[in-house]
Structure 1
C-alpha cells in the first residue's frame, strides 16, 4: 500500500508558521515584527503585572506569572525546544518588570508598558501597510500567540538551532 505524497508541514507549529509567514513576506515588515512583537509581549506581561491582587492594592506579578505559564504551556505543547526559549523569554520579561517596579515604582512600569504597547502596535500596522496584507490575528486570534514564537523560531534558525 503506497502513501500519499507529503503535501506540507505535519507539525502544528510548522503549519502555523507557514500561514503566519505568508502574511509577513516584506523585509521591512519582518524587521519591524522582530522588534515590535517581543516589545508587545513584554508590554502585555507588564500590563498584567500591574493588576493588583483581589482585595488589596498589592501588585505581586501573580497574574502575569499565571498568564505567562498559560502561554508557555501552549508553546511547549507545540515544540519543547521552542517552549524552552519562550520560558527564558518569559523569565526575562518578569525580571525586567520586577526590576522596573522595584527601582522606579509600579506607576512607571504601568506607563512604560502602555507606551511600549501603543508604539509597538503602531509599528506593526505600519509594517502591514508596507506588506499590503492584514495582520494574521484578524483571521484567528491564536496568531497573537504565534507571533512571538515565530520571532523566536527566526532567532533559532539564525543560531542554527532546531525548534
Structure 2
C-alpha cells in the first residue's frame, strides 16, 4: 500500500506542500473534522439526527483544507496520489503528539 516507501518518506513529501503556517493551521483543524465526520456518518446509520452534523463537519473540514492550499499556492497532494489522504491523517497525528 505504501509502494515500498516508509511513512516518514510519505510524510516528508507531504510536508513539502504544507510549509505555510496558515495552511498547516487549517489542516490542524480540518483533518480531524473530516475524520470525526466520517465516524459520525457511519454512526448516523444507527442514530437518527447525526447526519447533518457529519455533513457539516465534513464540508467545513474540506473547506479548511482547500483554503489552506489556496493560501499556500500549491494543490493538495492527494490530487497526484490518493494515498496522501491517509498520509495527511498520519501527519496530523504526528503533529499533535509532538513527533513532527
Could you say whether these structures have the same fold, taking a TM-score greater than 0.5 normalized by the shorter chain as the test?
yes
Q: CA deviation at 1:118?
A: 0.6
Q: What's the TM-score once normalised by structure 2's chain length? A: 0.88
1:40-51 superposed matches below 5 A: 40-51=34-45
SS of equivalent to 2:96 = helix
Which residue is equivalent to 2:54? 113
Q: CA deviation at 1:133?
A: 0.5
Which residue is equivalent to 2:15? 21
Which residue is equivalent to 1:136? 77
Q: Which consecutive unaligned segments of at least 5 residues does structure 1 have?
A: 1-10, 52-58, 60-100
Aligned length: 97
Q: Which consecutive unaligned segments of at least 5 residues does structure 2 have?
A: none
Bigger CA radius of gyration:
1
Counterpart among 19, 27, 32 of residue 33 in structure 1: 27
- Please give the alpha-carbon distance, in whole angstroms, between the structure 1 residues aligned to 2:97 and 2:52: 32
Q: CA RMSD in A?
A: 1.9
Counterpart among 79, 88, 94 of residue 147 in structure 1: 88
Q: CA deviation at 1:50?
A: 2.3
- Please give the alpha-carbon distance, in whole angstroms, between the structure 1 residues aligned to 2:54 and 2:23: 22
Runs (4+) off by over 2 Å: 48-51
